[in-house]
């Protein structure tokens, strides 16, 4: 069948790479795609938020399955549009994608259904938020309610920082309309772990664990980003942790959404904090994480397309997921200055060195073709991923592979996976 992927980042490159391996797929398209995705799919110049154009294209090309990779179109209701047109699409409907689209909603859901998370309060009025901060315990976490490209979270160590944070989010609107509402929550300490899962509305099948690095600079310093690198599996995600999460977090979340009349079909990303008092939910996403997908999908043995179709058909209970008994590490090569300001348009050299090398991948995030050359076209440019027999080997392989690629303004963190050494 013909398959359409909606999006154009590193996550969608990993999805395209994985989809191309399925015997069910005859032809791949991606809208809008990027220079790396073009290796596996025909890229189409339609924006991810142009729902009607995408639906018309899907009809014209007799698309048998559309995979929505990005959060914005999911929260905006692309699945509802496609379903109305009789098109088969993988992802949650608008009323379920709110699980990511509104942090206030997700916090209230967890509170109502006793899913462990940090203590919190929601605010629509900056004056009320500022008043609340007078008696708050520090450090404290401020979160813009809506989508903010993974950057709408501020950790504040002092009352002054917190007051500035409220102004940044709710008054200056640094994150746009995402800051119309705000969540202020307890600061949790522990190891962060990401767990992606397939959901068919009733059944959940979790994938292997991963661990992300959100801050821009080494030592988890600097501004929050969309992710500077990740590794899988997390050595801190034990069977004991998994058993707890399956019982008290994963299935209860699926059941809660169904009970609210918001049946969830697609991917639920669980951002967890492994605290001294047990696992707690930091956040939900309604799609594959990026760059988590770039380490999880290379380890996945199961046919991804088959599982996605099972989710749509409500038959996920008939399937189990299999993953290689290995490890993967992804190091993001970014444009220096990301996530604030940076230059684009620099030629990327050395990509051919990944060809034919098993276990080494260059997933394109912000790239484009220009005058026959691949050039930088975003803040996060490439996700260089490598596998290995264990995490230390995968990490060494990934950093070795980062040296194969050169472009002006190249920047990366040098401590991705450093936590491995402490496990």
How confident is the model at residue 422, as a pLDDT?
60
List beta partners, residue 192: 273
Q: With 70 as the cut, is the pLDDT of residue 122 above it? A: yes
Q: What is the mean pLDDT of the chain?
A: 96
Pairing of strands 327-335, 410-411: antiparallel
Do residues 6 and 41 lie in contact, with contact meaning Cβ atoms separated by under 8 Å? no
Lowest mean pLDDT among 148-162, 190-204, 218-232, 305-319: 148-162
pLDDT tens figures, 348-367: 999 999 999 999 999 999 99
Q: What are the structure tokens assigned to 202, written together?
A: 């009733």
Which helix (H) or strand (E) is 388 found in, with range?
strand 380-388
pLDDT tens figures, 256-287: 999 999 999 999 999 999 999 999 999 999 99
Band of residue 313 on the pLDDT scale cut at 50, 70, 90: very high
Helix (H, G, I), strand (E, B) or coil at 347: strand
pLDDT tens figures, 61-77: 999 999 999 999 999 99
Average pLDDT over every residue of 179-206? 96
How confident is the model at residue 423, as a pLDDT?
55
Instruction: Show the domains of the chain with their CATH numbers.
Output: 2-93 (3.40.50.20), 119-186 (3.30.1490.20), 191-318 (3.30.470.20), 327-422 (3.90.600.10)
pLDDT tens figures, 324-337: 999 999 999 999 99
How confident is the model at residue 338, as a pLDDT?
96
More confident residue, 396 or 420: 396
Q: With 80 as the cut, is the pLDDT of residue 149 above it? A: no
Q: Burial level of 119, CB count in 10 A (0-12/13-18/19+)?
A: exposed
pLDDT tens figures, 75-121: 999 999 999 999 999 999 999 999 999 999 999 999 999 999 999 99
Do residues 328 and 298 lie in contact, with contact meaning Cβ atoms separated by under 8 Å? yes
How confident is the model at residue 201, as a pLDDT?
98
Tally Cβ neighbours within 10 Å of residue 333: 23
How confident is the model at residue 421, as a pLDDT?
66
How confident is the model at residue 308, as a pLDDT?
98
How confident is the model at residue 151, as a pLDDT?
73
Do residues 141 and 186 lie in contact, with contact meaning Cβ atoms separated by under 8 Å? yes
Do residues 333 and 2 lie in contact, with contact meaning Cβ atoms separated by under 8 Å? no
């Amino acid at each position: 069948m013909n398959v359409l992927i909606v999006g154009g980042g590193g996550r969608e490159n990993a999805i395209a790479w994985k989809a191309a391996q399925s015997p069910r797929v005859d032809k791949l398209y991606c809208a809008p795609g990027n220079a790396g995705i073009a290796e596996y799919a025909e890229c189409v110049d339609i924006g991810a938020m142009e729902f009607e154009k995408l639906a018309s294209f899907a009809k014209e090309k007799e698309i048998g399955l559309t995979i929505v990779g990005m959060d914005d179109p999911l929260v905006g209701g692309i699945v509802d549009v496609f379903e109305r047109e009789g098109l088969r699409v993988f992802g949650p409907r608008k009323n379920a994608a709110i699980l990511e689209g509104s942090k206030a909603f997700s916090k209230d859901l967890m509170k109502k259904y006793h899913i462990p998370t940090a203590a919190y309060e929601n605010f629509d009025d900056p004056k009320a938020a500022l008043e609340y901060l007078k008696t708050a315990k520090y450090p404290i976490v401020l979160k813009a309610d809506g989508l903010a490209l993974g950057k709408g979270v501020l950790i504040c160590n002092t009352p002054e920082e917190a007051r500035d944070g409220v102004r940044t989010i709710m008054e200056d609107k640094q994150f746009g309309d995402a800051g119309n509402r705000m969540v202020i929550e307890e600061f949790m300490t522990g190891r962060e772990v990401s767990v992606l899962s397939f959901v068919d509305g009733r059944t959940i099948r979790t994938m292997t664990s991963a661990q992300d690095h959100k801050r821009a600079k080494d030592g988890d310093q600097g501004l929050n980003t969309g992710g500077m690198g990740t590794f899988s599996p997390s050595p801190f995600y034990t069977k004991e942790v998994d058993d707890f999460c399956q019982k008290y977090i994963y299935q209860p979340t699926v059941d809660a959404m169904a009970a609210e009349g918001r049946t969830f079909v697609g991917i639920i990303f669980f951002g967890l904090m492994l605290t001294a008092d047990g696992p707690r939910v930091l956040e939900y996403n309604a799609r594959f994480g990026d760059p988590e997908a770039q380490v999880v999908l290379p380890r996945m043995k199961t046919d991804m397309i088959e599982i996605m179709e099972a989710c749509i058909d409500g038959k996920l209970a008939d399937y189990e997921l299999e993953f290689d008994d290995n490890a993967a590490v992804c190091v993001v090569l970014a444009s220096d200055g990301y996530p604030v300001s940076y230059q684009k348009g620099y030629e990327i050299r050395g990509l051919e060195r990944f060809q034919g090398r098993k276990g080494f991948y260059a997933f394109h995030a912000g790239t484009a073709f220009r005058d026959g050359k691949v050039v930088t076209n975003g803040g996060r440019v490439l996700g260089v991923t490598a596998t290995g027999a264990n995490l230390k080997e995968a990490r060494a392989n990934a950093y070795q592979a980062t040296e194969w690629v050169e472009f002006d303004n190249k920047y990366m963190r040098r401590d991705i996976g450093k936590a491995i050494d402490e496990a």
